[in-house]
Amino acid sequence: MPIVAAAPSHSTEVLLSLFIMLTAAKLFAEIFERLRQPAVVGEILAGVIIGPSVLGWVTPSEILHILSEIGVVFLLFNVGLETKPSTILRVGKTAFSVAVLGIAIPLAAGWALLRSRGSTHIEALFVGTSLVATSVGITARVLSAMRVLEAPASRIILGAAVIDDILGLLVLAVVASFAAGSVNYMEIATTAGLALSFTAVAAFVGAPLLKRAASHFDRLRIGHAFFVCALILCLGLSVAAAYIGIAAIIGAFLAGMALAEATEGNHTLHKQTSGVTEFLVPFFLTYIGMQLKLDVFRDQSTLFLALLLTVVAVFTKMVGCGAGAWHLGLRQASQVGVGMVPRGEVGIVVAQLGLSLGIINDSLFGVILFMAVATTLIAPPLLKLLFAPQSELH
Amino acid sequence: MPIVAAAPSHSTEVLLSLFIMLTAAKLFAEIFERLRQPAVVGEILAGVIIGPSVLGWVTPSEILHILSEIGVVFLLFNVGLETKPSTILRVGKTAFSVAVLGIAIPLAAGWALLRSRGSTHIEALFVGTSLVATSVGITARVLSAMRVLEAPASRIILGAAVIDDILGLLVLAVVASFAAGSVNYMEIATTAGLALSFTAVAAFVGAPLLKRAASHFDRLRIGHAFFVCALILCLGLSVAAAYIGIAAIIGAFLAGMALAEATEGNHTLHKQTSGVTEFLVPFFLTYIGMQLKLDVFRDQSTLFLALLLTVVAVFTKMVGCGAGAWHLGLRQASQVGVGMVPRGEVGIVVAQLGLSLGIINDSLFGVILFMAVATTLIAPPLLKLLFAPQSELH
């Protein structure tokens, strides 16, 4: 870190790192937005450039790691806040079969690909898991910009993405606990059971309870009482999730989901949450980029695996999700299939977790990151093509 | 930390600490609000109780320290956001003489008291500095609740508090740089000059520039562009301040002040900032409490010094500020004097800085903290008494 060599104190060094990370992230986000590419990819690229692989202005450290962890907790909390349990029930059978097929096929294909190339069982499972969860944020932004959010295919995509998120995080929970210890099927079943009950309690008990409790928050004397309670719930469920053996981010997501209906239309709370998210999430995204060792792609077999995994990622989601929506006809089925392609943040969260648990190495981390970024870049132009006639009719 | 003994990973431990700190802070804030006492005192007390002095649930650590530093950066940024340079010019001569006398007399008296009790020159200067800056937040909240914010004395208090903040932070900058190295008067003059020019540039160049630039932020494609730019400015000026040898918090305050007029009426930006502040400031306040070693008050001379310093703190501000507003008559002069008594956060920031620079020891830290908390508790009932007839007329 040559730039901070003369730092007067440790906290000044950290402030400088945060300043560089935030500025670079937002500069690249702006450039990517102007190129009509996803801002999230720009923020990760900013991390690659300021990190040890290129400029070396900021290096990963314990403190930056923890700040990025807090960032991803809030990212998932925010995703949860936009996930109403009632929409899951409304979208029905089609969304459910889209989600389930869109999870099973990529998971199996990713696992098979890695096994065929000599990876261990657990590495292969982790890479498969990184193919599971759709990052619907990118798709939602494209559909909303085209004003086709109300089209039938769009509704199915958004509904399926919710189920997909929950199931994907459950798969992650099981795989991570599977990876953490010895292979104990009883324990995996317990974790899956705990994760399922945790989800069910958050969605079907927590949500209605919080909706009724919301009006009582006004009785508290402290300022911003509702927001403060939301923060406490977010941190509390994150810690609880970590202690029962599933990832902290799952707790944060469930806290958000449980609050989604209670906070609907509460603009102050959403703005306050967006303040925290806008501040902290760039540290997560740039930190991801900072961890990427570009060297790994010098090895041709790694680069080849990255390309292969991307093809598998795109193809299996299109086939899996398309099959789930097949009865709607080829056109809508392919709209749904393409809409579910981006892996983005969620795939990256899996890669990050795998790296920090020591399950996957730098090469596989690079491969997953490549796939997540590539699928995120591929989907928007395809979506525009497939939805274009509808958009013109609008 | 018995409670986190079984923690699965370091970041889970940190999340648990944050959860405990936030929950305890807000619980005590609520209790104090209900007792009609300042919430900020409740949050510090929460830290004392969860910290090593009492329950030992959370212990100070490098990471919590840095999070609390980021918290105080945002606290001062928020104070700056409510400090319009134009109001300083408007309140005129009275506010200025109130501020200057209200700084000089407590500084001199605090220094003399500590010297007379055998402290070193630099310790005495630091304790004197902790008596300097008024924490107007408490007073403003009381005056606003009584609906007398428009009374002449209230206007002078608020105007003087702004000048007082700036001069107080300048005194802190000079004393801290004085403490950091050998006594080099040239260097002190340079630091003071830099601090003054930094303040002048932020207030008279930065503020109008940002006011004009504000409309151009809309042209940026990234989401929440104005808020993101404000965050970058806050971190950037904090780092710049630290590198030119003044405290990072001064940079954050100046960033806020430079943005104050540009962001007036921008509710989204204020809510987003309040989101970050509400999340991070409790970590600063509880961390303060966690550092207090209650043992120090077992030594009767320390307890006596704490009481003595509190009396000096109250008396010198009343005399100094009252003298500055003397021409308004006894009643308004005493309203002004009492309104400037609370030291609160700003005194605590000085104590924190002194402790982390190794200038003051645990006993003096305890003494300053006692004084800051006591003045904050004393002022509100006195203010209510002095403003009561006006409030009834209203």
The tens place of each residue's pLDDT in chain B, 394 residues long, gives 223 333 346 788 899 999 999 999 999 999 998 987 778 888 888 998 999 888 999 988 889 989 988 988 888 888 788 777 776 666 668 888 888 899 999 999 999 999 998 888 888 988 999 898 887 666 776 776 677 767 778 778 877 877 777 777 778 777 777 766 655 667 667 777 777 787 778 777 887 888 777 777 777 878 788 889 999 999 999 998 888 767 787 788 888 888 887 877 778 888 898 899 889 989 988 988 888 778 888 888 889 999 999 999 999 999 999 888 888 888 888 888 998 898 866 778 788 888 888 888 888 999 998 898 888 878 878 888 888 766 554 4
Tell the burial category of B241 from Cβ atoms under 10 Å away from its Cβ (0-12, 13-18, 19+): buried
Q: Which of B81, B231, B263, B268 to mutate to probe the A interface, most A CBs <10 Å?
A: B231
For B70-393, CATH gives 1.20.1530.20
| Cβ–Cβ below 8 Å for A12 and B274 | no
Within an 8 Å CB–CB cutoff, is residue A93 touching chain B? no
Nearest to A15 among B8, B222, B242 (CB): B242
Residue in B with minimal Cα distance to A63: B63
Residue B22 with chain A: CB contacts under 8 Å = 228, 231-232, 235
Residue in A with minimal Cα distance to B5: A243
Cα separation, B249 vs A249, in Å, equals 32
Q: Which of B1, B218, B239, B352 to mutate to probe the A interface, most A CBs <10 Å?
A: B239
CA-based nearest residue to B103, from B67, B133, B62: B133
CA-based nearest residue to B257, from B211, B224, B194: B211
Nearest to B26 among A8, A228, A243 (CB): A228
| Structural contact between residues B238 and B251, judged by C-beta atoms closer than 8 angstroms | yes
| Structural contact between residues A237 and A61, judged by C-beta atoms closer than 8 angstroms | no
Residue B312: its pLDDT value, please? 94
Displacement of CA A108 from its chain's centroid (Å): 20
Within an 8 Å CB–CB cutoff, is residue A12 touching chain B? yes
For A2-393, CATH gives 1.20.1530.20
Residue A1 scores a pLDDT above 50: no
| Structural contact between residues B67 and B80, judged by C-beta atoms closer than 8 angstroms | no
Asked whether the CA dihedral B286, B287, B289, B295 is positive or negative, the reply is: positive
| Cβ–Cβ below 8 Å for B223 and A278 | yes
Within an 8 Å CB–CB cutoff, is residue A266 touching chain B? no
ipTM value of the model? 0.80
Within an 8 Å CB–CB cutoff, is residue A237 touching chain B? no
Residue B119: its pLDDT value, please? 86
Cα separation, A327 vs A318, in Å, equals 15
Cα separation, A106 vs A367, in Å, equals 15
| Cβ–Cβ below 8 Å for A278 and B228 | yes
In residues, how long is chain A? 394
Within an 8 Å CB–CB cutoff, is residue B278 touching chain A? yes
Tell the burial category of A116 from Cβ atoms under 10 Å away from its Cβ (0-12, 13-18, 19+): exposed
Instruction: Please name the residues between 29 and 48 in chain B that touch chain A, using a CB distance below 8 Å.
Output: 29-30, 33-34, 39
Residue A393: its pLDDT value, please? 47
Residue B55: its pLDDT value, please? 92
Q: What pTM was computed for the model?
A: 0.81
| Structural contact between residues B146 and B391, judged by C-beta atoms closer than 8 angstroms | yes
Contacts of residue B142, Cβ cutoff 8 Å, sequence gap at least 6: B379, B380, B383, B384
Cα separation, A31 vs A35, in Å, equals 6
| Cβ–Cβ below 8 Å for B30 and A272 | no
Crossing angle for the helix pair A152-180 and A330-339, nearest 10 degrees? 40
Query: Helical H runs in chain B?
Result: 10-34, 39-50, 62-81, 85-116, 121-130, 136-145, 152-180, 185-200, 207-213, 225-243, 248-260, 267-291, 300-324, 330-339, 344-356, 362-393
Within an 8 Å CB–CB cutoff, is residue A62 touching chain B? yes
- Is B209 strand, coil or helix? helix
What the block records as the tokens of B20 is 């405990």
Residue B128: its pLDDT value, please? 92
The CA-atom distances, in angstroms, between A101 and each of A110, A323, B233, B264 are 14, 8, 47, 51
Within an 8 Å CB–CB cutoff, is residue B19 touching chain A? yes
Cα separation, A148 vs A338, in Å, equals 15
Instruction: Please name the residues between 328 and 387 in chain B that touch chain A, using a CB distance below 8 Å.
Output: 356
Residue B276 with chain A: CB contacts under 8 Å = 275-276, 279
What the block records as the tokens of B85 is 């340079």
Cα separation, A247 vs A231, in Å, equals 18
State the CB neighbour count (10 A cutoff) for residue A392.
8
Residue in B with minimal Cα distance to A33: B221
CA-based nearest residue to B338, from B140, B133, B147, B139: B139
Secondary structure letter of residue B203 according to DSSP = I
Cα separation, A184 vs A178, in Å, equals 7
Residue B70 with chain A: CB contacts under 8 Å = 14-15, 18
Residue B66 with chain A: CB contacts under 8 Å = 10-11, 14, 63
CA-based nearest residue to B376, from B41, B75, B48: B41
In residues, how long is chain B? 394
Q: Which of A136-140, A330-334, B217-221 has the lowest mean pLDDT?
A: A136-140
Residue A90: its pLDDT value, please? 66
The CA-atom distances, in angstroms, between A298 and each of A47, A302, A312, B125, B284 are 19, 8, 22, 60, 46
Cα separation, B323 vs A60, in Å, equals 55
Residue A29 with chain B: CB contacts under 8 Å = 222
What the block records as the tokens of B118 is 């055998």
Residue in B with minimal Cα distance to A61: B63
Residue pairs between chains A and B whose CB atoms are closer than 8 Å: 153
Cα separation, A224 vs A213, in Å, equals 15
Residue A136: its pLDDT value, please? 67
Within an 8 Å CB–CB cutoff, is residue A219 touching chain B? no
- Is B349 strand, coil or helix? helix
The CA-atom distances, in angstroms, between A272 and each of A96, A219, B141 are 33, 20, 21
| Cβ–Cβ below 8 Å for A19 and B268 | no
Contacts of residue B20, Cβ cutoff 8 Å, sequence gap at least 6: B3, B50, B57, B58
| Structural contact between residues B277 and B196, judged by C-beta atoms closer than 8 angstroms | no
Residue B30 with chain A: CB contacts under 8 Å = 220-222
Residue B239: its pLDDT value, please? 92
| Cβ–Cβ below 8 Å for B15 and A70 | yes
Residue B110: its pLDDT value, please? 92
Within an 8 Å CB–CB cutoff, is residue B220 touching chain A? yes
Asked whether the CA dihedral A347, A348, A352, A355 is positive or negative, the reply is: positive
CA distance A262 to chain B (A): 18
CA-based nearest residue to A384, from A188, A47, A145: A145
Residue A183 scores a pLDDT above 60: no
| Cβ–Cβ below 8 Å for B6 and A243 | yes
Instruction: Please name the residues between 126 and 185 in chain B that touch chain A, using a CB distance below 8 Å.
Output: 180
Place of tokens 């980029």: A289
Burial B313-338 (b: 16+ CB within 10 A, else e): bbebbbbbbbbbbbebeeebbbbbbb
Within an 8 Å CB–CB cutoff, is residue A220 touching chain B? yes
Contacts of residue B216, Cβ cutoff 8 Å, sequence gap at least 6: none
Nearest to B231 among A14, A22, A221 (CB): A22
| Structural contact between residues B360 and B130, judged by C-beta atoms closer than 8 angstroms | no
Cα separation, A336 vs A96, in Å, equals 13
Residue B310: its pLDDT value, please? 93
Across residues A352-374, what is the average pLDDT?
A: 86
Within an 8 Å CB–CB cutoff, is residue A232 touching chain B? yes
| Structural contact between residues B337 and B157, judged by C-beta atoms closer than 8 angstroms | no
The CA-atom distances, in angstroms, between A294 and each of A271, A297, B193 are 37, 6, 46
**Span A223-277, pLDDT tens digits:** 788 889 899 999 999 998 888 767 787 788 888 888 887 877 778 888 898 899 8
Cα separation, B72 vs B50, in Å, equals 20
Cα separation, B174 vs B185, in Å, equals 10
Within an 8 Å CB–CB cutoff, is residue A278 touching chain B? yes
CA-based nearest residue to B122, from B177, B168, B166, B164: B177
Q: Which of B235, B243, B285, B356 to mutate to probe the A interface, most A CBs <10 Å?
A: B235
CA-based nearest residue to B96, from B170, B167, B169: B167
Tell me the DSSP string of A187-210.
Answer: HHHHHHHHHHHHHHIIIIIIHHHH
Give me Rg for the CA atoms of chain A: 21
Q: Among A3-7, A188-192, A205-209, A298-302, which range has the highest average pLDDT?
A: A298-302
